Amino acid sequence: MIGNMIGVLFDGIAYGSLLFLISVGLSVTMGMMNFINLAHGAFAMVGGYVCVTLLSKMGLPFLATLPLAFIAAALVGLVLERTLYRRLYKASHLDQVLFSIGLTFMAVAGATWLFGPTQQPVNLPDWLRGQVHVLGLDLGTYRLFLIGVVVLVTTALVLLIERTRFGAQIRASVDNQAAAAGLGINVSRVFSLTFALGSGLAGLGGGLGIDVLGLDPSFPVKYMVYFLLVVAVGGAGSIKGPLIAALILGVFDVAGKYYVPEVGAFVIYTLMVVLLILFPFGLVRRKV
């Protein structure tokens, strides 16, 4: 029973860290540019398809496909930010929602056209399959790997934002665009690079997540709620908030599906509505 619970908790944390990896870029774009981007899942999907294609068509090793998934999604994000997104930073939230729903629809249709409507299989290397024994518990190797990667990436991200010059520029632009621009920071370039970084992380998450979340053209719509949820519950513009929110959501979702499968996804939606009522501005409220 206890082992069971720890197993669920472990799976939930793995799931939550994956959600965090995909959503953290969304949190930054929402906090920084005040942009409601419903198409964020599409960037994760780009990463997922890049991974699958490189694995099955070109026979690259799994680990080598992950950085490429990051780069591909980041490039797509950069191009779209430069050409389309930046036109709508000052637009109303409704316009942003409509625009990003439009992008999502196009991504879904495009993926169906290119790859067909079926689920994409992923062949993990042998060393990532099966289970390992840790302290008398059977833990999925891949999930352990997942958590490891997310911890690494998160540490790198925190270091980037807290310790580097670029990170300082990001923080300055989030806090006050006008003042940051007045200090000589090229805010529009910071926006572009941050957007690309966030898209790239989503792409990396998409590639890592094929085994956990699955991959088919409806991916951006199916998980849109989860990504938005992480940001809305966690509070936009921070790293800590989405991390906590993603872990909570991951654990509750897995536990809900494991213990009360008959109510299915109901648990997560109820949790979401309750959390939004209790914290309408997110768990971690950014200082304005």
Partner 1 sequence: MSARIDSAGKPAAQPDQLPTAAMSKAIRLPNDRWKLLEIAFWLLPVASWFLFPNHLVLISQIMIVGLFALSLDLVLGYAGIVSLGHAAFFGLGAYTAGLLSVHGWGEPLSGLLLAALVAGVAGLVVSFLVVRGQDLARLMVTLGIGLMLFEAANKAAFITGGVDGLSGMATAPLFGAFEFDLYGKTAFWYSLGVLFLLFVLLRRVVNSPFGLSLRGIREGGRRMPAIGANVDRRLKVAFTAGAALAGVAGAMLAQTTQFVGLDSLGFPRSAELLIMLVLGGTGRLYGALVGAAVFMVAQDTISGLDPAYWQFYIGLLLVLIVLFARGGILGGLEKLVHAVKPDARKEEA
Which residues bind to partner 1, rule: CB under 8 A? Answer: 30, 36, 84, 87-88, 91, 93-95, 97-99, 101-110, 112-113, 117, 217, 221, 225, 228-229, 231-232, 236, 262-266, 269-270, 272-273, 276-277, 280-281
DSSP 80-142: HHHHTGGGGTTS-HHHHHHHHHHHHHHHHHHHHHHH-SSPPP----GGGSSEEEETTEEEEHH
- Of 208 and 283, the one with the shorter C-beta distance to partner 1 is 283
Kindly state the greatest CA–CA separation across the chain: 60
CB of 140 to partner 1, least distance (A): 27
Is 204 or 268 the residue whose CB approaches partner 1 more closely? 268
CB of 93 to partner 1, least distance (A): 4
Residue type, 150: V
Work out how close the CB of 254 gets to partner 1 at its nearest, in angstroms, rounded to a whole number: 17
Which of 223, 227, 233 shows the shortest CA–CA distance to 272? Answer: 233
| DSSP classification of residue 223 | T
Q: How far is the CB of 45 from partner 1 (least distance, A)?
A: 14
**Nearest CB to partner 1, comparing residues 1 and 277:** 277
Nearer to partner 1, 147 or 231 (CB): 231
The candidate with the shortest Cα–Cα distance to 92, out of 178, 34, 158, is: 34
> Which CB atom, from 259 or from 266, has the smaller least distance to partner 1?
266
Q: DSSP H helical segments within the chain, as ranges?
A: 2-33, 40-57, 62-83, 93-115, 141-163, 165-175, 177-182, 187-208, 210-213, 219-222, 224-234, 240-259, 266-278
Minimum CB distance to partner 1, residue 245 (Å): 12
Least separation, in Å, of the C-beta of 86 and partner 1? 12
**Contact criterion met (CB below 8 Å) for 241 and 20:** no
Q: Which is nearer to partner 1, 140 or 237 (CB)?
A: 237
- Sign of the torsion angle spanned by Cα atoms 159, 162, 168, 173: positive
